[in-house]
Amino acid sequence: MQIDKKIITRPEAEKIIRSLNAENKRIVFTNGCFDILHIGHLELLEKAKSYGDVLIVGMNSDSSVKQIKGPDRPILTEQDRARLLAAIEMVDYVVLFDEETPFELLRQIKPNILVKGEDYKPDEVVGRDIVDEVKIIPFVRGKSTTDIIDTILSKLK
């Protein structure tokens, strides 16, 4: 599938999910800012895809990232971040959301499995009551967008 066709709107996501459900496909969802893609993101996406047939990635919009991470973020625009995510083989669809959490998006699309990193405990995951199952996966230590930004800044000094 072409990269740009993998970036979908919320109404498109609802329609696609209905079709996938009719085919008894297991739908996996994960979300994040994905500000600077790194190996930790790839590990998350690879593991998430292994849990089902279709991987939908909810991505925070620029305004949402600013709410969560502060005024200096995101580094990359939402258009760039979405295209980079969509270019990754295991990602089937990317859908943006403006809210601080993906709760409303999850409520709309109702995936089967929700995957989060180990900074969350299963009983703290937003949307856990909407999905059939929550999977928590380990982080790749020392690999985060903040670590990358800090490394770049330290080298500039």
Question: DSSP of the chain, one letter per residue?
Answer: --GGGGEE-HHHHHHHHHHHHHTTPPEEEEEE--SS--HHHHHHHHHHHHTSSEEEEEEE-HHHHHHHH-TT--SS-HHHHHHHHHTSTT--EEEEE-SSSSHHHHHHH--SEEEEETTS-GGG-TTTTTSSEEEEE---TT-SHHHHHHHHHHHH-
Backbone angles phi, psi at 96, to 5 degrees: -85, 150
pLDDT tens profile 75-117: 999 999 999 999 999 999 999 999 999 999 999 999 999 999 9
Confidence band, pLDDT 50/70/90 cuts, at residue 120: confident
Query: Is 118 within 8 Å of 139 (Cβ atoms)?
Result: yes
* Both tokens assigned to 58: 């909810």
Q: Kindly list the domain boundaries of the chain, sorted by start residue.
A: 3-156
Give the fold, CATH level 3, of 3-156.
Answer: Rossmann fold (3.40.50)
Tokens of 142: 């020392």
pLDDT computed for residue 156 by the predictor? 84
pTM score of the predicted model: 0.93
User: What is the C-alpha separation between 82 and 67, in angstroms, rounded?
Assistant: 18
Q: How far is Cα 124 from Cα 116, in angstroms, rounded to an integer?
A: 10
Interval 110-125 mean pLDDT: 92
